[in-house]
Amino acid sequence: MAGKKIVCRCNDVTVEEVEALIDSGITDIEELKRLLRIGMGPCQGRTCIPIVLGILARKTGRKQEDIPLPRARVPTRPVRVEVIVGGADE
């Protein structure tokens, strides 16, 4: 699609997608993060979170500094299936 404005390059999220969710009543940054996967790509939100916070502030009339940042979650480490089912030592 020509002319689409990308907010999150890692997950190809557009301004229009963010605004549509906000317009539908979703104004919590954690919820937006889960639904759009913003902040979950290789950049871990360094690019998209500030942009989405700006859009959220503009659309809701809140100050950007009054919107709490999403919680950082430590990445999980892969576990072999054998460990889960008890067929191998850790």
Q: Where are the domains of the chain?
A: 6-85
CB 45 within 8 A of CB 52: no
**What does the pLDDT look like over 46-80, one tens digit per residue?**
999 999 999 999 999 999 999 998 887 766 777 77
Query: What torsion do the CA atoms of 38, 40, 46, 47 make, to the nearest 10 degrees?
Result: -40
45 vs 84, more confident: 45
pLDDT tens sequence across 31-45: 999 999 999 888 889
Residue type, 41: G
Q: What pTM did the predictor assign?
A: 0.75
- pLDDT, residue 61, reads 96
What is the C-alpha to C-alpha distance for residues 27 and 70, in angstroms, rounded to an integer?
12
